[in-house]
Chains A and B, each alone.
Chain A
Amino acid sequence: MRVHPLNTLMLISPAAVLLVVMLLLPVITVAVMSLTDWQFGAATLNWIGLANYVELWGDPVFRKSLGNTFLYLVLVTGGAVSIGLGAALLIESDSQLRGFYRTAFFMPVASTLIAMAVVWQFLLHPSAGMVNQLLELIGLTPRDWLNDRHVALYSLAVIGIWQMSGLALVLFLAGLKSIPQDVRDAGALDGISHPWERFRRITWPLLGPTTLFVVTVCAIRALQVFDTVHVLTRGGPNKSTEVLLHTIYAEGFSFFRMGYASAMTVVFIAGIFFLTQVQHTTMERKTHY
């Protein structure tokens, strides 16, 4: 049955218009803007080609930001995936209290990060914070977790892991469920009964696609870190917690160098794009089994 083109147009047009105006055009604008030296409020702009990118390459703040972001990404992704996988295996191995554990680990994911960041700021307070008070109790030296430039990024990474593990856990639980019980039964009959053997020969191989998926999900999220940095450290001390989005924010909305910030945004988009591609290819492989 043919639908009148006018009807179809009416169905699609709001979405299409908004898609172009709110998403696609802005992205193109960002790419174009990155080739100019435009500042917000300036009357004119100049075409400067790739000069912004050249400047980026040599900009020590940007390089530090990129390095920090990458380090943060690796730490948080590694931590969240490990904890998520470990907890998922433990939870799934028995039936008691499954709901409770899942809720406990997932709660950070469900909570408002900004609010919890404020709580963490209190927890990490050098004198009144619970963490340092606990450390003193057991005889370890307390540190100024958010203001010491040697540990600040790691403190933020801990918060990031805390916030992300629940998501990894839930994704792994779903992946574990999809391993057919029959294959496990066949393994039991064949003599695969020791937990390590079961993990190595059945669980881990069959979890492969899920693992890749979880890693990319966490990586993409980690790359977008901003809230905790802005709330807790503002990129300091000494730019030790400066991250990509925060640098973009500072350049674009504090210094209003929007051309330069656009170039950074392009780098950011490229990173996300790359990770998304990896994710899509792993999702293809997921359907193979």
Chain B
Amino acid sequence: MNRPSLLFRTARHLLLMTGALIFLTPFIWMVLTSLKPADEIFSRELTLLPTRLAMVENYTEALTRVPLLRYLWNGVVVCAAILVLQILVLLPAAYAFAKIEFRGKTWAWRLVLLALMIPHQATAIPTYVMLHHAGMLNTLSALIVPFSISAFGIFLMRQFFRTVPDDLVHAARLDGMSEFELVWRVMLPTAVPALFAFAIFSVVWHWNDYFWPLLVISSPELATPPLGTMFFRNEEAGINYGPLMAGTVLITAPLLLLFITAQKRFIEGVTLTGVKG
């Protein structure tokens, strides 16, 4: 198309840059504050850059006041465990729905579609009671087990597997592969891009989940990053903003780094939450 005029280009940049700056302000402010000493934070005037660097003190305080790194580690463990379990459970099922005809298939699929529409907070009460009776409250398992089934994952991977040619499956069966081997040796390699998007979707969702850990976890050592942030904030009693911001920088850093390095895939994965609803 014709090249836009200079006036248009400038106006566009003006509008978008203003918006971008507004949207980025919390991040920028978070980082800047984490570098400032307390007196500058609470001064009446609006100061942008720190005149005195308090980075070391703030970040040390953040790391020592609460087990911040522990929170991050818990997040990693929980999300990884959930993802692995999810894939182990959903991949064979998705394959079966996509490539095998069996009795009761339509009904089973309808159940999956029904499960898709259930928001995860809706099952909180009974699941909580169930875990309580199993003595599993306040354990990492309580964070992992309820999410080991992802109806959305089954839905997504089945859609994907349907595009894989049937002949591939037939050839593998003729070669003597059992159904299990088929899933892990033939279907999984073809599914890597779709699985990657799902992995991002799952990891981001569970890393950021606050509601469920809030319900089942009471010990700080088992907290995931969102819950840990709350413990941290309560510790700092809302006064030590320097270290508090340092803490939030550390907590948001992993996801943001993942986002910046794998932007396209990240966006792909997160927009899947839109499809799920």
Q: Which residues of A contact B (CB under 8 A)?
A: 1, 3, 5, 7-8, 10-12, 14-16, 18-20, 22-27, 29-30, 33, 40, 83, 87, 90-91, 93-94, 96-97, 99-116, 118-123, 127-128, 130, 133-134, 137, 162, 165-167, 170-171, 174, 184, 188, 213-214, 216-217, 220-221, 224, 226-227, 230-231, 245, 248-249, 252-253, 258, 261-262, 265, 268-269, 272-273, 275-276, 279
Residues of B within 8 A of A25 (CB): 126
The answer to whether A118 touches B20 (Cβ under 8 A) is no
Interface size class of B (residues with CB under 8 A): 35 or more
User: At the interface, yes or no: B7 with Cβ under 8 Å from chain A?
Assistant: no
Q: Is the CB of A112 within 8 A of B208?
A: yes
* A119 and B149 within 8 A (CB): no
Q: For the complex, would chain A's binding face be called helix, strand, loop or mixed by DSSP majority?
A: helix
A5 to B103, CA, bound (A): 9
User: Which of B20, B125, B210 makes the CB contact (< 8 A) with A226?
Assistant: B210
Interface pair A224/B123, CB less than 8 Å apart: no
Are B210 and A104 in touch, CB under 8 angstroms? Answer: no
| Majority secondary structure, B binding face | helix
Q: How far is the CA of A102 from the CA of B260 in the complex (A)?
A: 11
Report the number of A-B residue pairs with Cβ-Cβ less than 8 Å.
273
Please give the distance in Å from A254's CB to the nearest CB on chain B: 11
Q: Flag whether B148 is at the interface (Cβ < 8 A).
A: yes
Q: Is the CB of B211 within 8 A of A245?
A: yes
Q: A19-B149, A24-B111, A110-B266 given as contacts; is B207 within 8 A of A3 (CB)?
A: no
Q: Does B237 contact A (CB under 8 A)?
A: no
Q: Would A23 and B118 count as touching, CB distance under 8 A?
A: yes
The reply to whether A119 and B226 form a contact with Cβ atoms under 8 Å apart is no
19 A-B pairs in the complex with CB atoms less than 8 angstroms apart: A7-B178, A11-B96, A11-B180, A24-B114, A24-B115, A25-B126, A104-B20, A110-B259, A115-B248, A116-B26, A116-B248, A119-B29, A120-B26, A162-B23, A184-B1, A226-B211, A252-B124, A276-B117, A279-B277
